Amino acid sequence: MTTTAIRQKLMTYLADADDSKVKAIYTLVEEDMNKTDVFKLTDEQLQILDTEREMHLAGKTKSYTRQEATEIIKGQRSF
């Protein structure tokens, strides 16, 4: 069964399930639902980004458009 099919079945089930079952399922996933710190940069990483941004704004580094970056990644253009 695909993930999409499972989600659809769960939504249909939860719409009519009794309160105790809804609460039980919620308890199982509550911790994951409340996670807000999925990705956090370290202080060192933030400092690197700040330095790179300052160099970019000062015109000291080369910048690329999204299209140029895509071409470089696909090997259709050199940098």
Looking at the structure of the chain, the number of domains it has is 2
Amino acid found at 74: K
**Whole-model pTM?**
0.42
- List, for residues 31-76, the tens digit of each pLDDT value: 888 877 667 889 999 999 999 999 999 999 988 999 999 999 998 8
Looking at the domain assignment, is residue 38 inside a domain? no
DSSP tag of 78: -
What confidence score (pLDDT) does residue 57 get? 92
Residue 37: predicted pLDDT: 67
- Residue 59 CA to residue 39 CA, distance in Å, equals 29
Whether residue 48 is found in the same domain as residue 28: no
Question: Tens of pLDDT along 9-36?
Answer: 999 999 999 999 999 999 999 888 887 7
What does the pLDDT read at residue 59?
Answer: 92
Please report whether residue 16 resides in a domain: yes
DSSP class of 2: -
Question: What residue numbers bound the domain in which 48 lies?
Answer: 43-73
User: Is residue 78 assigned to a domain?
Assistant: no
Query: Domain check: are 67 and 47 in the same one?
Result: yes
79, part of any domain:
no
